[in-house]
Amino acid sequence: MTMPVPAVHEVQYSGLHIKVFHANHGEGLPRHQHLYPHLTMCHSGSCVIRKEGVERIIDKHSKPINLRGGEWHEIEARENGTVIVNIFSEDQY
């Protein structure tokens, strides 16, 4: 089970919300869903993204992952010092 971790930085810029999370192994964003889609990426360390029927490991070399609105998903750090960044615009939904 993924242990929740709060965002260390939250920025709004030109209608976008940017959230940065610093997570250690087993921490991240537990299973949830919302109406809006968002991009997620891993800037340091590695994490696993789980969503309906898919599990994918990403790191700083991976392309950002688009998580669709209305679909459950979970993001969990696989190692200490993982940095996860989410970008979204919930105001459009």
- Report DSSP state, residue 9: E
36 close to 47: Cβ distance less than 8 angstroms: no
H or E element in which residue 91 lies: none
Tokens matching residue 13: 């810029």
Q: What predicted TM-score, i.e. pTM, was given to this entire model? A: 0.93
**How crowded is residue 59: how many other Cβ atoms within 10 Å of its Cβ?**
15
Tell me the pLDDT of the chain (93 aa) as tens digits: 899 999 999 999 999 999 999 999 999 999 999 999 999 999 999 999 999 889 999 999 999 999 999 999 999 999 999 999 999 997 765
